[in-house]
Amino acid sequence: MKVLILSTGTGEGHNSAGKAVQEQFQKRGISCDMEDVLAFASERAASYGKRIYVWSTVKATKVFKGAYRAGKAITSARRKSPVYYANALYAEKLYRYIVDNKYDTVVMPHLFPAEALTYMLRKHECRPDIHTYFVGTDYTCIPFTEETEADYYFIAHEELLGEYKKKGIPEQKLIPTGIPVSDRFRNLPSREEARLALGMQSDGHCILIMTGSMGYGKIETLVRMLVHHMEEKDSVYILGGSNEKLKTRLREAYQGNKRVRVLDYTNRTAEYLAASDLLFTKPGGLTSTEAAVVGIPLAHTRPIPGCEDCNQAFYNGHGLSVSADSERQLVEKAMELLAHPGECAQMTERQQRVINGNAAEDICEFILRQSTC
């Protein structure tokens, strides 16, 4: 068995989900590689696709929202979308790579490779020796998913079965495992141990803000409101992603304020979650799942229009997070939650009950069972 995971960096959640599955295969001694699918078009195309995504979500959210709505309209008419034909352009090169390197299992935590492989396998007719698996990374069936023809679809929750079926995905192909997260979010130190390891103060509340990989949302307004409402011993740590301008502005605004720490990219996110008492983050599917697996009171900031609206609705509906229409209201609601430990405990208990922290392991085991059939 030789596994290939195909993703791309239009939002880091897809890559993180892919790495979580890769981790499980490698733990079992199974060959598993991961590639950026847009690199098969060209390195330039991969870089361009990422830049367009960041621009559309951070600088032009109305454009992104319009495109998302258009996607739902196109796919509801069962016509092939421009997304399908764009990914078909590099499908032959991708097919050659899979065949030449003797991969028999392809896992896809992103729509783009699923579109490309659908085109590829149709063109080359039946290839029963190549098994394909799509991994949903949001709490909804995203537009264009019904254009794809994977062998199985791992989806975020059993409540989404009806939505996927309505889009035309056969029920027997739907496996509600949950969204895969890395083992490091399951095997964590205590809050005291995590704070010590990270060099954080031991007393007071620690509030964590995650802006996403590109620093989306009105973070500066959120921080200003939060500093106003925090107690004297409380502190806020901001994981600012790759938005260097945002991090620079925040550092200048809070220079000398030891209660506000602005951090660069870190691979210790799980430890910061373990060390913190409350998390502010946009409702990305992967980040929200990681937070729920850790078990931390969660306040959702403004969603990127589209699938993140659905993620927020799912989490709010199950009592796994709080949200509000403005930064001021969100801070007030979150700090009220933090002031009541019993309510915080109830939220984290619901998170543990509703969200499957073993999804990556379950996905790996399901694929292994299929390989022996």
Instruction: Give the tokens for residue 129.
Output: 């020796």
DSSP letter assigned to residue 318: T
Mean pLDDT of 124-153: 91
Both 132 and 197 in one domain: the answer is no
In 3D space, the residue among 204, 99, 109 whose CA is nearest the CA of residue 156 turns out to be 109
Q: In the predicted model, is pLDDT for residue 58 greater than 50?
A: no
Residue range 72-91: mean pLDDT, rounded: 70
Q: How far apart (Å, rounded) are the C-alpha atoms in residues 157 and 232?
A: 40
Tens of pLDDT along 115-127? 999 998 888 876 7
User: Are 65 and 162 in a shared domain?
Assistant: yes
Q: What are phi and psi of 331, to 5 degrees?
A: -60, -45
Residue 291 has pLDDT above 80, yes or no: yes
Asked if 7 and 97 sit in the same domain, the reply is yes
Say how far apart CA 150 and CA 136 lie, in whole Å: 12
Predicted pLDDT of residue 48: 53
- C-alpha to C-alpha distance for 195 and 6, rounded to whole angstroms: 35
Question: Is the pLDDT reported for residue 266 higher than 80?
Answer: yes
CATH number at residue 239: 3.40.50.2000
Task: Verify that 363 and 349 share a domain, yes or no.
Answer: no
Amino acid 272: pLDDT: 97
Shared domain check, 14 and 157: yes
In this prediction, residue 116 carries a pLDDT of: 93
Mean pLDDT of 160-188: 96
Q: How many CA atoms lie within 13 A of 255 on its CB side?
A: 5
CA distance 10 to 4: 19
The C-alpha atoms of residue 251 and residue 352 are separated, in whole angstroms, by 35
Statement: the pTM of the whole predicted model exceeds 0.85 = yes
77 and 211 fall within a common domain: no
Provide the residue range defining the domain that includes 220: 184-354
On the 0-12 / 13-18 / 19+ scale of CB atoms within 10 A, 306 is: buried
Confidence of residue 197 (pLDDT cuts 50, 70, 90): very high
- Whole-angstrom Cα distance, residue 222 to residue 278? 14
pLDDT at 249: 93
Residue type at position 196: L
Regarding whether 121 and 98 lie in a shared domain, the answer is yes
In this structure, of 49-58, 130-139, 250-259, 347-356, the range with the lowest mean pLDDT score is: 49-58
**Structural domain count of the chain:** 2
Residues 167 and 234 in one domain: no
Are residues 362 and 220 both part of a single domain?
no
Per-residue confidence (pLDDT) for residue 167, from 0 to 100: 93
Q: For residue 113, which of 83, 79, 142, 143 has the smallest C-alpha distance?
A: 83
Same structural domain, 157 and 220: no
Q: Are residues 250 and 311 in the same domain?
A: yes
The residue written with tokens 């900031």 in the block is 301
Specify the length of the chain in residues: 373
pLDDT digits (tens, 9 = 90+) for 199-226: 998 899 999 999 875 555 689 999 999 9
| Residue 88: per-residue pLDDT | 86
Asked whether the predicted pLDDT for residue 67 surpasses 80, the reply is: no
Q: Do residues 37 and 87 share a domain?
A: yes
